[in-house]
Structure 1
Amino acid sequence: MFSFIIKRILILIPVYLGLTLSTFTLIRLVPGDVVEIMMGEKAVDPAVHAAAMKRLGLDQPLPIQYFNYLKDIFSGNFGTSFRDRTPVLDDFLSHFVPTLELALCAMVIATILGVALGITAALKRGSWLDYTLMSGALAGYSMPIYLLGPILTGFFAHYLGWLPVSGVISVFQFLDVKPLYGSWLLGSLTSNQQGAFIDVLKHFVLPSIALSTIPLAMIARMTRSAFLEVLGEDYVRTAKAKGLSPMRIILVHVLRNAMITVVTVIGLQMAMLLAGAILTETIFSWPGVGNWLLDGFHNRDYPIVQNGILLVATALMLVSLCVDILYGLINPRIRHS
C-alpha cells in the first residue's frame, strides 16, 4: 500500500508543475495593466509607472518572472497582494475555511441521501418508487443554483422567516480553537453559547441545500447504476443460491464492489464544490474563496489569482489523492495491478 501511495504522489508532481505554468500564463493573457488598475491616474506618469513595474517585478522577462514565481512557491512564499499588501496565504486560509465548511456540509448531505436513494431505487427497479426517485434526481440535477438559491431564500428566509441568509461566521471562529488539533464538546458550552452555535449552524442550512442538489442527483443516479451492474454479476447469483440473507449480499458482496464508482463520483463532486461554489457564495453572501478570487481577478492582482488558483488546485489534487487511496483500500486488485 505504501508503494501505491508513493506512486500516486509522484504522478502529481508534473501535474503540479503544469498548474503553475497555466496559472502564471493565463492571468497574463487577460487585457489590462495591473499598475494602471492599482494606481489610477497616478500611473499616467511614465516614471511612476516604471517604478511600480520594477517594484512588483513585472519589468523582467516572462521566463525570469516564472522562475522567480516557482522559487517563491517552493520556498513557501505565496506572495503579497498587490492591492492590499497582505500575505496571499493568510488571505486564502481565511477565505478557504468557510468554503471548505460549506462544501463538507453539502457533501455530507449529498452523500448520505444520494447513496440511500440510489440503493433504494436499484433494489426497487422498475417500480413507481424507482421512477419517482430518479425523476427527482433528474430535476435536482437540472435545477441551476442561481434559480434554486433565490427560491430557497425567498421561501424559508423572507416568507417564513425560519433561516438567515447572510452574516455567517466560521464554526472554527466561533469555537475559537485550532481546526487541526482543537477539541470541544457542545455539552461544555453555556446555554447562551449553545444558542449562538445553533445560530451559526442555521446559516449553513440554505447554502448547503442549494449546493448539494447537483451532487446528490449525480451520486443517486450513479449509485443506482453501479448497484444494478453488480447485482447482475455471477458471484451475486451464487451468493443467492447459497442461501445468504439479502442484507448480507447487499453489504458484503454488492456494496463494496459498487463503491468504486460511487467514490469516484463523490471525489469529483467534492472537487467541483471546492472550486465552483462561487454562485452559492454570491447568492448567500458567503465569505468564501470564490468571491476572493473573483475580486483579485477584477483587480488584476497577480499574486492572488496565480497563487489562489494554485492553492485551490492543490486542495483538489489532495482530494484526488485521497480518492486513489480509497480505491486501493476498497479493491486490493487496484493497488496490486
Structure 2
Amino acid sequence: MLRHVGRRLATALPSLIGVIITAFLLTRVLPGDPAAYFAGPAATEQAIAEIRTQLGLDRPVHEQFIAYVDDLAHGDLGTSLTTGQPVTRDIIARLPASAELTLTGLLAAVLIAVPLGIAAAVRQGSWIDHLSRILATSGVSLPVFFTGLLLVYVFYYQTGIAPAPLGRLDIFFSPPPQVTGFYLIDSLIAGDIETFRSAAAQIFLPATTLAIFSLAPIARMTRASMLSVLASDFVRTARANGLSTWRVIVVYAFRNAMLPVITTLGMVFSFLLGANVLVEKVFAWPGIGSYAVEALIASDFAPVQGFVLAMAALYVLLNLLIDLAYGVIDPRVQMEG
C-alpha cells in the first residue's frame, strides 16, 4: 500500500512542478502593476519605483523565480500585500470554508444523482428516465453564477426563506470552537444546535448551487454504467437464481458500476473547486476562491500563486484517494496495479 502511494505521488511530482512554473509565469504576464496599485493613484513614478524595488519586481524574471522556488522549499508561499499576512496562514484559515462548501454540494449531488441514475437505468424510457435527462440538461446549461443569483432572488429576495447570502454565519452568531474548521461539524461537536442551524441555513443556497452544477455528470454516468452492468451475464444469472430485485440492483449491479461513478466524482470535485470561485463571490463566502479573486484584482501575485498550488495539491490528493478507493471497491484493480 505504501509503495503504491509513493509511486502515485512520484508520478504527480512533474505535474506540480509544471503548475508552479505556469502559475509564476502567468502572474507576471497578466496586466496590472502591484507596485502602482498599492502606491495609490496620486503616487509619483519615483514612489512606484521604490515600491517595485522593495517587492523585488525590478529584478529579472529568472531571479524572481529562483527566489520563489527557494521560498517554496522552505514552506514559504510569500506574503499577501492585500491582507499583510503570510499566504500560508491565509490559505489555512480560508480553506475549511471552501472545503465545507464543496463537499456539502458534492454530497447533496451524490445523494440525488446516484439514486436518480440507478432508477433511470432500471426503468429505462419511463418518466423518471426523462426527468433525469431534463435535470441533467438543465444542470449543465445554466452557468453556475446565474444559478446562484437565481436562487438568491427566489429564496431570499422574493420569499425570504433563506437568510441573506453574507458569509458562513448570521451576524448574531459567533463561530463554534474550531476542531475541523467545518462549522456544521464543529457546532455539533460543541453541542450548539442554534449555531448549527445558522450554518446550515447559510450554506444551503451556495451548496445547492454547486449541487445543481454537478448533478448532470454524476446522474448520466450512473445511468450509463448501470445500463452496461444490467445487461451483463452475471446479472441475468442472479435474476434467474431467484434473487430479489433489490439485491440484484444494489449488491451485484451497482457495486460493479461504481468504478466509473467514482472516477466521475473525482472529475466533478475538481470542477467544483473552480466553480467555487464564482459561487463564493456571489454568496460572499470567505473561502480561498474569493481570496484569490481579490488578490488577482489587486495584482497581488503571492496569493494567486498560493491558490493555484493549493488547488493542484488538492487535485493530486483527490486522485490518490480515488486510486485507493478503486482497490477497496474492486481488489483486482490493486492487484493489476
TM-score between the two structures when normalised by the length of structure 1: 0.90
Alignment of 1:277-288 (within 5 A): 277-288=276-287
Match of 1:174 in 2: 175
Q: Which residue identity is paired with 2:116?
A: L
Structure 1 residue matching 2:78: 3-state secondary structure: coil
Aligned identity (percent) is 33
Distance (Å, rounded) in 1 between the aligned partners of 2:181 and 2:57:
37
Given that 1:165 and 1:285 are in contact with CA atoms closer than 8 Å, whether structure 2 keeps it comes out as: no
RMSD: 2.5
Distance (Å, rounded) in 2 between the aligned partners of 1:112 and 1:276:
20
Gaps of 5+ in 1: none
Distance (Å, rounded) in 2 between the aligned partners of 1:61 and 1:239:
69
Q: Which residue identity is paired with 1:290?
A: G
Q: Which residue identity is paired with 1:141?
A: V
Q: Which residue identity is paired with 1:178?
A: V
Go from structure 1 to structure 2 and tell me whether the alpha carbon gap of 1:118 and 1:45 turns closer, same or farther (over 3 Å shift): same
Distance (Å, rounded) in 1 between the aligned partners of 2:16 and 2:313:
8
Distance (Å, rounded) in 2 between the aligned partners of 1:296 and 1:187:
34
Alignment of 1:119-268 (within 5 A): 119-169=118-168, 174-179=175-180, 186=188, 189=191, 193-268=192-267
Distance (Å, rounded) in 2 between the aligned partners of 1:197 and 1:94:
20
TM-score between the two structures when normalised by the length of structure 2: 0.90
Match of 1:312 in 2: 311
Given that 1:97 and 1:170 are in contact with CA atoms closer than 8 Å, whether structure 2 keeps it comes out as: no
Using the TM superposition, give the Cα deviation of residue 134 of structure 1 relative to its aligned residue in structure 2, in angstroms. Answer: 1.9
Go from structure 1 to structure 2 and tell me whether the alpha carbon gap of 1:158 and 1:82 turns closer, same or farther (over 3 Å shift): closer
Alignment of 1:16-35 (within 5 A): 16-35=16-35
Go from structure 1 to structure 2 and tell me whether the alpha carbon gap of 1:184 and 1:57 turns closer, same or farther (over 3 Å shift): closer
Q: Which residue identity is paired with 2:57?
A: L
Using the TM superposition, give the Cα deviation of residue 41 of structure 1 relative to its aligned residue in structure 2, in angstroms. Answer: 4.9
Given that 1:122 and 1:228 are in contact with CA atoms closer than 8 Å, whether structure 2 keeps it comes out as: yes
Go from structure 1 to structure 2 and tell me whether the alpha carbon gap of 1:180 and 1:280 turns closer, same or farther (over 3 Å shift): closer
Match of 1:72 in 2: 71
Using the TM superposition, give the Cα deviation of residue 6 of structure 1 relative to its aligned residue in structure 2, in angstroms. Answer: 1.8
Distance (Å, rounded) in 1 between the aligned partners of 2:152 and 2:82:
34
Question: What is the aligned length?
Answer: 333
Match of 2:9 in 1: 9
Given that 2:35 and 2:49 are in contact with CA atoms closer than 8 Å, whether structure 1 keeps it comes out as: no
Q: Which residue identity is paired with 1:324?
A: D
Q: Which residue identity is paired with 2:211?
A: S
Distance (Å, rounded) in 1 between the aligned partners of 2:274 and 2:129:
32
Gaps of 5+ in 2: none
Given that 1:145 and 1:279 are in contact with CA atoms closer than 8 Å, whether structure 2 keeps it comes out as: yes
